[in-house]
Amino acid sequence: MFGINLFSWSRKVRKLRKRYDRIREHALKKKGPLRGRLLTRLDQINSSITTMEETQLSRVDRARISKDVEISLAEVKELLKLKGGEETAEQQGAR
């Protein structure tokens, strides 16, 4: 019975929520305009995670949303590595 729960969908959602929470804690420590951008992106990610937690989705929709969340979290994590106001021209153009 434990083996079945090990590979369940809820485990993946919990792992995504945990990654989200850790990244949000780091974002709250940032200062300046970068913090606002990070928190805006994280709020969008939060709504996707909440959707996965609270609604019954088809397997395809679950996979699509979870992959989008993983990619978005990776992008936010890269933005966190920037120090202060260091932004490349590419990231400024993405606004």
Q: Using the structure block, give the residue that is written with the tokens 């200062």.
A: 31
Give the pLDDT score at 85.
54
CA distance 18 to 64: 19
Tens digits of residue pLDDT in 15-34: 999 999 999 999 999 888 88
**Residue 94 pLDDT grade (very low, low, confident, very high; cuts 50, 70, 90):** low
List the one residue out of 20, 89, 25, 80 whose CA is nearest residue 49.
20
CA distance 41 to 78: 13
Tens digits of residue pLDDT in 38-60: 999 999 999 999 999 999 999 99
